[in-house]
A and B are shown apart, each in its own frame.
Chain A
Amino acid sequence: MPDEILHSMQEELLEEEVEEAVICGIGDHCG
């Protein structure tokens, strides 16, 4: 089980709530 990896990734996401920049890109990044 790659639990260490999953935990490490989730800690990264908890560390900082980042405001996603608004761009005129496509698909995953148009918001």
Chain B
Amino acid sequence: MFYNFTSDEKRLLKKIRESISSTENSSELSFHYNPTFIVLNISEGCNLRCPYCFAVQGLYGSKRPSWMTEEVAYNTVYAALTKYHNIRGIKLFGGEPFMNICAMRGACRAVKDVSRNIPNRSITITSVTNMTILNSSLINLIKEYDIHFTVSIDGPKLIHDQYRKFANGKGSFDRIKYNLDKLSEHKIQPSGFESVYTPFELELGLHYEDIVDYIIQEFNAPWVYVSPVYGWFSSTEKEKELQFANQLYSDVKHAYYKYTLSKSLPKKRLANDVIRKLFTKSSNVYWCGIGQNSFTVSTDGTVYPCYVFLNDRNNWKCADSIDSLSQDSIPKSIKDKLSTGQAKLHSECSDCVLSNICRGCPAHSYISTGNYSAYDQVTCAYRLGQVAGVLSKYLDIFPPKQSLI
């Protein structure tokens, strides 16, 4: 797939990259083992049954759910923070992390204990929740440890309840709305909302920006991120996939054109997030830093490069625990796989205008196709549409005849 940027858009993108590229060519890719971010997968189980879930109903391929104990959570986080001084964030993840308040508490206690000993060290605790579970203990925990959390919601009730159902088939929208109101009474606001956008929404005539608008208005969202569904189409549905990707590119470009320099802060943030990426120096680590900067710890304390690989544990285990994790503990077969470079080094991405800055998602690609690369038709259309929208807006404000001479 290749979306043609205009020559002015390409020239502008080139200028942006040149403006920050003085060190770009000198940064050679290498395996930089430097953990800065730990995902604690405290719940490998979920109370919802979303059909598009990459974690397969939160079970990550297991037959039964499993839950991290408070002790494993505490010991893992304590060991990680004392061993790796560059870690600035712990993400409580799942499955549904709010189903395991014991492990949440263990992780939070460890952060507090380490912070007490090193006062100037700032460690943010984050989480992603389906927001169907809330009680006074959770509210107290969120307040006490200033947990930043993002709520998953797919849009209006009709859309949301189509996918995000409890095991009994009932939609979860009303419960989430109730819980958000409860949080509001306690003056707690989610730091963001995220949605999965599927072809179903498009069939109903709801375009990308309709979902963004709805979430901002309905939930007063400070940050909203609507991303396209991954792996929706089967290998025999290439034509349908292409149609959806084309429509998405057009919709996202149109939306980001409007978000650029918008007076709406959440919308402007979306555009600025794209600008920030355009100005990001090329990384000298592979892909997103998977297995070098970031690691995931499963419920039993085992370490993997990313939570996506919990779907294929036998092939991706890096260490028995954070204690035993080291550059040498990571099997050569995994390092070889992780060290396949960046998008720009892959043939399918080499012509793409974003190949220098795209971090891709090789884990998702590997799990769904067996190919460790960044390419996914729908995701690529989405990313390219975002950039095209922002660039075209600036080019309209500063017309080429004046600015590109």
For chain A, residues 1 to 31, give those with C-beta under 8 angstroms from any C-beta of chain B.
1-6, 8-10, 12-13, 16, 18-31
Do B152 and A20 touch (CB < 8 A)?
A: no
Query: Which residues of chain A come closer than 8 Å to B359, judged between CB atoms?
Result: 27-28
Q: Which residues of B contact A27 (CB under 8 A)?
A: 288, 358-361, 364, 374, 379
Interface residues of chain B: helix, strand, loop or mixed (majority): mixed
The reply to whether A26 and B294 form a contact with Cβ atoms under 8 Å apart is: no
Q: In the complex the two chains form, is B275's CB within 8 Å of A26's CB?
A: no
Which of chain A's residues have a CB closer than 8 A to the CB of B275? 9, 12-13
B125 to A, closest residue via Cβ: A22
> Which among B12-20, B107-115, B137-145, B345-353 touches the partner chain?
B12-20
CB distance from A10 to the nearest CB of B (A): 7
A6 touches B15 (CB 8 A): yes
A20 CB, min distance to chain B CBs, angstroms: 7
* Bound Cα distance from A16 to B89, whole angstroms: 21
B398: which A residues are within 8 A, CB to CB?
2, 4-5, 8
Contacts of A22 in B (CB 8 A): 89, 91, 126-128, 148-150, 191-192
Is B15 touching A1 in the complex (CB atoms < 8 A)? yes
Cβ-based interface call for B223 (8 A)? yes
Query: Is B194's beta carbon under 8 Å from chain A?
Result: yes
**Looking at the complex, which one of A2, A28, A31 makes contact with B12 (CB distance below 8 Å)?**
A2
Among residues of B, the one whose C-beta sits closest to the C-beta of A6 is B19
Given contacts A8-B394, A18-B272, A31-B294, contact A26 B227 (CB under 8 A): yes
Given the known A-B contacts A4-B403, A28-B277, are A9 and B16 also in contact in the complex, defined by CB atoms under 8 Å? yes
Q: Give the distance in Å from the alpha carbon of A29 to the alpha carbon of B269 in the complex.
A: 14
A22 (CB) vs chain B CBs: closest residue: B126
Determine whether B383 belongs to the interface, using a CB cutoff of 8 Å to chain A.
yes
Closest to B268 in A: A12
Question: Contact mask B393-405 → A, CB, 8 Å, 1/0?
Answer: 0110110001111
What 0/1 readout, one digit per residue, does chain B (192-208) give for beta carbons within 8 Å of chain A?
A: 11100000000000000
Interface size of B by CB at 8 A reads 54
CA distance A1 to B403 in the complex (A): 6
- Alpha-carbon distance between A31 and B283 when the two chains are bound, in angstroms: 15
> A18–B126 Cα gap in the complex (Å)?
15
Interchain CB contact (< 8 A) of B37 among A21, A25, A26, A31: A31
A7 to B: closest C-beta gap in Å: 10
The answer to whether residues A30 and B361 also contact, given A4-B403, A18-B269, A18-B272 and a CB cut-off of 8 A, is: yes
**Contact of B216 with A by CB under 8 A:** no
B276 near A: Cβ within 8 Å? yes
Residues on A with C-beta less than 8 A from B225 are 21, 23, 25, 29
Q: In the assembly, what is the distance between CA of A24 and CA of B272, in Å? A: 20
- A20–B225 Cα distance when bound, in Å, is 10
B279 is an interface residue with CB less than 8 A from chain A: yes
Q: A28 — which chain B residues lie within 8 A by C-beta?
A: 277, 288, 358-359, 383
* Binary CB contact string for chain B from 260 to 283 against chain A (1 if under 8 A, 0 otherwise): 010000001101110111110000
Least CB distance from A22 to B in Å reads: 4
Q: Which residue of chain A has the shortest Cβ distance to B289 in the bound complex?
A: A31
Question: Shortest beta-carbon distance, A17 to chain B, in Å?
Answer: 10
Given contacts A2-B15, A8-B394, A27-B288, contact A21 B223 (CB under 8 A): yes
Could you tell me the distance between the alpha carbons of A19 and B149 in the complex, rounded to whole angstroms? 12
Q: Give B368-405 interface residues, CB cut-off 8 Å to A.
A: 374, 379, 383, 394-395, 397-398, 402-405
Q: Would you mind naming 12 contact pairs between A and B with Cβ atoms under 8 Å apart? A: A2-B15, A9-B278, A9-B394, A12-B272, A13-B272, A18-B223, A20-B273, A22-B149, A22-B150, A28-B277, A28-B358, A30-B288
The 3 closest A-B pairs by CB, nearest first: A21-B192, A27-B361, A26-B361
Please list the residues of chain A having a beta carbon within 8 angstroms of any beta carbon in chain B.
1-6, 8-10, 12-13, 16, 18-31
Interface contacts beyond A2-B398, A12-B275: sample of 19 additional A-B pairs, CB < 8 Å, sorted by A: A1-B15, A3-B403, A4-B402, A4-B403, A5-B398, A8-B397, A8-B398, A12-B271, A12-B272, A18-B223, A19-B191, A20-B223, A22-B89, A22-B149, A27-B358, A27-B359, A27-B360, A28-B277, A30-B306
